[in-house]
Each structure stands twice: as structure tokens, then as C-alpha cells.
Structure 1
Amino acid sequence: MHAGKNANRFSTRRRGFGVLLGVIALLAALCAGATTASAAQPAQTGFGPPQVVPVRMVDFGFDQPAWFPPGRYTFHAINAGRAVHILEINGPGVDNAKTPVVRPGDAADLTVTLAPGVYDFWCPVGNHRQLGMQLYVRVG
């Protein structure tokens, strides 16, 4: 009976060791997958093709993110309002970059390279800025 107890303990320990090895292998696979996934997504730099960001221009505001990592961007300005709008950007290294006038239902692209800092996105048409069509965007 004493030998049976020892054999049972040995079997339980062996099974526990196998489970532990399985958990370690699973964690290693998950870590390798996370590393591969992050390596597959290159960091945005000032070079290479720009990342396209949709910007909905409404009466009277911008529907877009307020933070970006540094890099090249093409802002696809879509006029979803009833008035004409322009997207203008000012900030570090970007001085008065703007789209042409965008009529309701139309869109225009504006490509810029954004360095770390704060950028002013606004509409220079009439009093649109004063009506709230302005957004400070942080980069970095």
C-alpha cells in the first residue's frame, strides 16, 4: 500500500509538471505572436507613404482624432456639412497648409509631415473658427 501511494504521488507530480510545461509553452507562443504582430506594423516616421486619416468637416467642427504619433499623413477632408469648408493646419514645420475650398458632399486631401508638438486644425472660411471649427491636435 505504501508503494501505491508513492506511485500515485509520482504520477500527480508528473502530471503537474506536464501542465506547467504546457502553460510555459503557451505563454512563449503568445509572447512570440505579440512580438511578431508589433514588428509587422512599422513605426510611423517622416518617410514612406503617408497614413490616410479621414476628417469629417461638419457645421461647425472637425470629427477626427486629437492625437497622432509623428509621421506623414494625408488628411482626407470630407465635407459632411451644408456650408463650404477648408481644412488648414499650422504647427511645427507646417505653416498654413490647407485644402482648396471643399463643397458640401465633396472631399479634398492634404498631405503633411507632423513632428512632435501641437498643431492648430481650423477652417478659415468666414467665422467658422469662431463657431467652433477649430481643434488643437497633439503629436508625439
Structure 2
Amino acid sequence: MRTDVDANGFPSHRRRVFGVLFGVVTMLTALCAGASTAAAAQPAPAGGAPGVVTVRMVDFRLEQPDWLPPGRYTFRAINAGGAVHALEISGPGVENARTPVVRSGGAADLTVTLAPGVYDFWCPVGNHRQMGMQLYVRVG
């Protein structure tokens, strides 16, 4: 019985099996990452409790989805940075909704209803917005 071998002396069918397994694992990883992002960005059912979206406020950026479907949301602003931060939102039907200032390690909630459009999310503390703590979020 003859077995084809590669340059390293391994049977060639092992290389093909490894390639297929690697492709499957890569695809599953991408699907799981997409599912967790989509789950975090689900709107609340009509008339129900608001959907919760985590916003990590880090020195000096906001980490959150940049696209959401229309709906009612509670943005849980978690200060994962060393400086004090806050979260402010403006856009269609939302004018300067804002959390209180949040100390490092703390959190505050802000509940708003988002209609289709573009919303501006930023940290209103000092010059944090100019330093990069600003994000446009598309809704719809």
C-alpha cells in the first residue's frame, strides 16, 4: 500500500484534514462573534423593558456597537478608565441625554428611544470628546 507524503514526511491526507478542521473552527469563531454582537444590539420588544447595551468608557474611547436597530435602550455606561467620564447622546428626538459623571470602576444607566438616523455619543467631561471619546452610531 502506497501513501503519499508531504515534504515533512506526513501523509498528505492529514494535511487536508487539518486544513478542513482549521477552516471549520475559523468559520465557527466568526459566527459566534457575530452572534454575540447582534445579541448585544437587539432592541426591546414593543411596549417591553428596554434592551441593554454596554458602553465601556475607556481613556479615551467609547467601546460599543456602532449600529443598532431602532428601539428603546438602556445604555449601561461603565467607566473602565482611570479618569472620570460620562456619556451624552444627541440625535433624532434625543437632545443631550446624559449620565451623571462616573468614577473609575463605576457605572450609570441612560435610557432613550432611538429612531432611525445617526446619533452622536460622546464623553462631555473636559476635553475627552476632542481626545477621541466620541462615536457616531447609525440606527436603522
Question: TM-score normalised to the size of structure 1?
Answer: 0.68
Q: State the AA in 1 paired with 2:81.
A: G
Identify unmatched segments of 5+ residues in structure 1.
1-41
Residues 26-48 of structure 1 show CA distances to partners (whole Å, capped at 9, x for unaligned) of: xxxxxxxxxxxxxxxx9745632
1:104 and 1:138, CA in 2 relative to 1: closer, same or farther beyond 3 A?
same
Write the distance in 2 (CA, Å) between the matches of 1:82 and 1:64. 18
Mapped partners of 1:102, 1:87: distance in 2: 9
- Structure 2 stretches of 5 or more lacking a match? 1-41
Match of 2:55 in 1: 55
SS state of the match for residue 78, structure 2? strand
Paired residues, number: 99
Q: Distance in 1 between matches of 2:95 and 2:43?
A: 25
What pairs up with 1:79-90 in 2 under 5 angstroms?
79-90=79-90
The residue identity in structure 1 corresponding to 2:65 is: P
What TM-score comes out, normalization by structure 2 length?
0.68
- What letter matches 1:136 in structure 2? Y
Code of the aligned partner of 1:126: G
Tell me, yes or no, if structure 1 residue 104 matches structure 2 residue 104: yes
4+ residue runs of structure 1 moved beyond 3 angstroms?
42-47
User: 1:78 maps to which residue?
Assistant: 78
Deviations 1:61-108 (A, max 9, x none): 111000000000000000000000010000000000000000000000
In 2, the alpha carbon distance for the partners of 1:125 and 1:108 equals 15
Bigger shift: residues 47-56 or 128-137: 47-56
Contact map agreement 2:44 2:73 (CA 8 A) in 1: no
